Structure 1
Amino acid sequence: MDNNNRFAHFASAIQTLDLDRVSQPSDIPASFLLGQDGPLTSHYIQFDCVNPSARLVLVGITPGFTQWKNAMREAQRQLRSGTPADIAQRVAKQTGAFSGAMRPNLISLLDHIGLHRWLGLTSCDALFNSAGHLVQTTSILRHPVFIAGKKKPNYNGTPNMVRSSFLQEQIEEHFAQEARILDKAVFVPLGPKVSEGLDWLAQRGVIPADRILHGLPHPSGANAERIAYFLGRKARSTLSAKTDAARLDTINRDLKERVLKLR
């Protein structure tokens, strides 16, 4: 059981929330505020349910504002239609988990290193429908962190999460509790900042270091060239100077070998 699940506490506020009045993070009602340190704020999102049977944990950095708003809208729709709270929470989370252009990139990357075979699937596409019981989608900063006064207020890794006492507290209070429940799963960090955070937790004994698969290219569309090369869809000779082909080759080989050892 996840004693860190606070959906029931926020359900009433979600139902009465006027989303049309929330156009930016600063408009989020104070009732959703979990903590603040100067310009950094953390706000509740209904992503705190944990799938204890998950064998694979996909870890992003933190939900963004669009994801927060979409998840709130879906939870609101479910609750107002009389859906039981546990189902409403789960549906709202599934709606926003690595959605959009990011999801097909992520599926291709997971399949490429062989995780579908380890899980006994034809493709990791099934993780987002029929095989949802095998995956936990989450973020190391599980509840959205925003930076007031920024043109792009979504937290993107600055300040460093393992050097900020406020962000450390957010990790320990939420994600670390989740990770302890998933002690037999394999963790896939999406991006170097997330990798650093998982290593920080591994040093504290929260996650076994050998259960973290570091290095997978971030599935964002902004990372298109690195993804295309990693998947063998783009020739090395056509890469721009910003893409380190040798490093990607090493990561590609190492991840495939590590997944084979899991099997």
Structure 2
Amino acid sequence: MMLISNHLSKYRETILGLTQEALRSREEVLSSNLLMARSGEQEMFYAPHNEVVNPAAKVVIIGITPGWTQMSIALEAARKGLQAGLTDETVCWQAKEAAGFAGTMRAHLIAMLDALELHHYLGIGTCADLFGECREWLNTTSLLRFPVFSGGRNYNGSHPDLPAHPFLDQTALSLLQAELSLMNRPLLIPLGRKVEQVLQRLAADGLLDGERCLWGFPHPSGANGHRLVQFARHKEGMRKQIQALAGRG
């Protein structure tokens, strides 16, 4: 594992000062000293789980930005790690293990990946193992590495539209490109159309291999009521793409 930024030292005391009860209150956390940047109604806050990357990852799953659920879980894991005196890298890694697409999203994600037979490509029993005993093969991340909220709500890439918002767009492009440059051609899984659009721009500019991107994968959030229809529409194409990559090695 590798730390790709080191903001934890700046926010260490704030995290340690948050009680377990406060960590479950969006209002208290977002009013603490974790604010990193603000642009209009968009606010970016610190959470530690995307500060560490796995350069050996075979699969990279990319969301838009951590939501409140992931942020809260990551901060709680970090607080425990800091209290135990762990290194910054270990603290961030434990936060990543706990928070990466946590909740119902993870269950939906695993079910879709297994339906695509990605576990056969990887030679494992189920894609659930990517979040368990085969965690060293997975890197979870986001276009916007740190949680972004719009008017206090989870930012979904649409309001405002990410490519049309200079601060969010440039932040996403620069952070993602820097992170992917550390890895050796993994399979990239963009979650939803907004993430896909950013990866398509990078592929068009020759900054990543579009043949190693799983185009058409829906966002696994329960709030995405169209995910099953979207998945069914693109399932066969994605499955064939994974088979082709297995043939190429």
With the length of structure 2 as denominator, give the TM-score of the two structures: 0.87
- Is contact 1:183–1:207 with CA below 8 Å preserved after alignment? no
Helix, strand or coil for the counterpart of 2:163? coil
Q: Secondary structure at the match of 1:181?
A: coil
Tell me if structure 2 keeps the 8 A contact 1:25–1:146: no
Calculate the aligned-residue CA RMSD, in Å. Answer: 2.3
Displacement, 1:21? 4.7
Moved more, 137-146 or 174-183: 174-183
The structure-2 alpha-carbon separation of the partners of 1:225 and 1:208, relative to structure 1 and needing over 3 Å to count, comes to closer
Q: Pick from 131, 144, 147 the counterpart of residue 144 of structure 1.
A: 147
Equivalences, count: 242
Secondary structure (helix, strand or coil) at the match of 2:189 reads: strand
2:139 & 2:18 partners in 1: Cα distance? Answer: 27
Structure 1 counterpart SS, 2:141 = strand
Counterpart-to-counterpart distance in 1, 2:170 and 2:119: 34
Question: Do the aligned partners of 2:173 and 2:198 also contact (CA within 8 Å) in 1?
Answer: no
Report matched runs for 1:37-116 at 5 Å.
Answer: 37-46=39-48, 47-116=50-119
CA distance in 2, matches of 1:213, 1:260: 12
In the TM superposition, residue 224 of structure 1 has moved relative to its aligned partner by 6.3
Secondary structure at the residue paired with 1:162? helix
CA contact (8 A) 1:161 1:197 kept: no
State how far apart, in whole Å, the 1-side matches of 2:227 and 2:178 are: 33
Against the structure 1 CA distance between its residues 7 and 206, is the aligned structure 2 distance closer, same or farther, given a 3 Å change threshold? farther
* 4+ residue segments displaced more than 4 Å: 18-22, 223-226
CA–CA distance in structure 2, aligned partners of residues 145 and 182 of structure 1? 25
Q: 2:206: which partner in 1? A: 205
SS at match of 2:181: helix
Cα–Cα, structure 1 residues 11 and 173, in superposed 2: closer, same or farther, change >3 Å? farther
Aligned residues: percent identity?
Answer: 32
In structure 2, the residue matched to 1:240 is: none
SS at structure 2 position matched to 1:146: strand
Aligned to 2:154: 154
Which TM-score applies when normalising by structure 1? Answer: 0.83
| Structure 1 position 118 matched with structure 2 position 121 | yes
Give secondary structure in 1 for the equivalent of 2:218. Answer: coil
CA distance in 2, matches of 1:208, 1:258: 13
| Unmatched runs of 5 consecutive residues or more in structure 2 | none
User: Aligned partners of 2:188 and 2:160: how far apart in 1?
Assistant: 23
Structure 1 residues 172 and 225: CA distance shift in structure 2, 3 A:
closer
Of the two, which has the highest radius of gyration? 1
